Structure 1
Amino acid sequence: MRGKVLFLFLLLVSILSGCGTSEPITENSQGIWNYYFVYPMSKILLMLGDFFGDNYGLAIIILTLIVRICLLPLMLKQFKTTLAMQKLRPEMERLQEKYKGADLQGQQQMQQEMMQLYQKHGVNPMNGCLPALMQMPIFMALYYAISRTQEIKLHSFLWVQLGHQDPYFIFPILAALTTLISFRLSPSMTAEKSPQMMMMSYIMPVMIFIGASSVPAALSLYWVIGGCFSIVQSIILRQQMKRAAIQNEKTAS
């Protein structure tokens, strides 16, 4: 499922990087997407930028932190799902062993029994994908708000213009590094050290680098700050997982 979410995310980046919409966004812009998503995002960035002395780079950093804090309840739900899946792992492995080498009908039966196992213990695997899915419309609205708001598009922050690609690829490199670190520290990686997860931990940073190199520097900055937030979050959640594991051992003994 994580692979499908990543594919959709990268497809979104590809669509955005090839989009040439440049009509300025205003309160009179027509369409549900413009009125309820792009214009509010532009307005929030302008307000934050004005508050910080017309510094729209800082506005994007603050907006990123606000978004990630708002997503914390979903991240905690994802964390609880990871813990629950970890407890179910022995039963899941028994099912996989039972249907090892089975035909298509057997594989379907295994999936049905897996779903029954999830339902029995109140586990929803989709909870692990919700934070990524929720960020897609935010990312898309941010892209259009930046490209269609001249004050932000032409604003210089550090060594870049926010509406243009990073000429030195520093933000894309940082985005890839923070993605690698946060993924390797994530509770999911701790709970499931499978070859597929290890491979994904290397593929994702490469794809993020490609995506961040294809979009305005403002979006790369969004990725970098979000990645730093994820690293801190993952460190805290790993500590909680260790405490939970110790508590389970004490309970079992």
Structure 2
Amino acid sequence: MKKRIIVWIGILSLFLLLAGCSEIKQPITPESKGIWNQYIVYPLSWLLKEVAHLLGGSYGWSLIVVTVLIRLVILPLMIKQTKSAKAMQALQPEIQKLKEKYSSKDQKTQQKMQQEQMALFQKHGVNPMAGCLPLIIQMPILIGFYHAISRTREIAQDSFLWFDLGTKDPYYILPIIAGITTFIQQKMTMAGTEQNPQMAMMTWMMPIMIVIFAFNFPAALSLYWVVGNIFMIVQTYFIKGPELKKTAVTGKAGGAKK
């Protein structure tokens, strides 16, 4: 059931992204039609312009400030998602025992296993779906912000530090930083959990994909990824600090034994 929910989340996210793909090169204005434009993309674009006005017309600083603001707004959802993931992780040994106990693939056995799993979740006060709702709420906001950055004309016409926000970073510094911070954030998020080969591969694949995208996208989007990743690194450090320290100690101990 949980895998099915995750698949639906992926489909929903892809739908939301594709819903705006046909308009990704069309500037966002108050006259833009559609629920997606009127209630998600345009308000975020308006916020970027208002903050830039307050900061002396700098869209680079506006992008940084608004990215942090949005991350702060969804922070409670992220914390809830992290706590849910930790609770599920703590129950993994018992869930694995149930899988071994009910190894038969026939329908009645699998139904019995699911019943005992639900009883286990109720006993420990864990909702296996609790981590999905925050993700469903976050995705339209983050994808909408991506569209707001891409479709706000004023951002593309401004410059910040050594680059123009509307064109690629000429020295490819931001894409590389985006890849490095994505890797760090992924490693910190997965610290203290058992990684299967697929998850371990994603730790490397995601940063590589981000770098490839950032090489071809406007620098404004690379800046957004870098700021968002740095925020997530700091957030993960404060939420999972003890686990990160324990993992680091365990790693050093393992290295010493070798």
Q: Secondary structure at the match of 1:190?
A: coil
Give the partner amino acid of 1:124.
N
Give the partner amino acid of 1:148.
R
Q: Is 2:200 the partner of 1:198?
A: yes
Q: How far 1:94 moved relative to its partner? A: 0.4
1:250 aligned partner: none
Q: How does 1:32-51 map to 2 (within 5 A)?
A: 32-51=35-54
Say which of 236, 239, 242 aligns to 1:237. 239
Q: Secondary structure at the match of 1:80?
A: helix
TM-score, structure 1 normalization? 0.78
Q: How far 1:51 moved relative to its partner? A: 1.1
Distance 1:78 1:10, change over 3 A: closer
1:221 aligned partner: 223
Q: Is 2:163 the partner of 1:151?
A: no
Query: Contact 1:26/1:39 (CA < 8 Å) preserved in 2?
Result: yes
Q: How does 1:72-151 map to 2 (within 5 A)?
A: 72-100=75-103, 102-103=104-105, 105=107, 106=109, 110-111=113-114, 113-151=116-154
Q: How far 1:43 moved relative to its partner? A: 0.9
Query: Contact 1:165/1:215 (CA < 8 Å) preserved in 2?
Result: yes
Give the partner amino acid of 1:123.
V
Q: Is 2:50 the partner of 1:52?
A: no
Task: State the alpha-carbon separation in 2 of the partners of residues 17 and 27 from structure 1.
Answer: 16
Query: Contact 2:188/2:244 (CA < 8 Å) preserved in 1?
Result: no
Task: State the alpha-carbon separation in 2 of the partners of residues 104 and 203 from structure 1.
Answer: 36
1:251 aligned partner: none
Distance 1:6 1:212, change over 3 A: farther
- The worse-fitting range, judged by mean Cα deviation, of 176-185 and 73-82 is 73-82
Distance 1:83 1:137, change over 3 A: closer
- The worse-fitting range, judged by mean Cα deviation, of 15-24 and 152-161 is 15-24
Task: State the alpha-carbon separation in 2 of the partners of residues 91 and 197 from structure 1.
Answer: 21
Query: Contact 2:175/2:211 (CA < 8 Å) preserved in 1?
Result: yes
1:248 aligned partner: none
1:163-198 CA distance string (max 9 Å, x none): 333344332222221121112112x43133443432
**C-alpha RMSD of matched pairs (Å):** 3.4
Query: Contact 1:5/1:132 (CA < 8 Å) preserved in 2?
Result: no
- The worse-fitting range, judged by mean Cα deviation, of 224-233 and 118-127 is 118-127
Q: How far 1:25 moved relative to its partner? A: 2.6
Query: Contact 2:156/2:167 (CA < 8 Å) preserved in 1?
Result: yes
Give the partner amino acid of 1:67.
I
1:213-232 CA distance string (max 9 Å, x none): 44332222111111111111
Say which of 172, 178, 183 aligns to 2:181. 178
| Long gaps (5+) in structure 2 | 246-258
Give the partner amino acid of 2:144.
A
1:99-155 CA distance string (max 9 Å, x none): 44x336355654554344334433233443455443432233223323332211211
Distance 1:149 1:72, change over 3 A: closer
Query: Contact 1:154/1:161 (CA < 8 Å) preserved in 2?
Result: yes
Q: Relative contact order, CA 8 A, sep 6+: which one is greater?
A: 1
TM-score, structure 2 normalization? 0.77
Distance 1:242 1:59, change over 3 A: closer
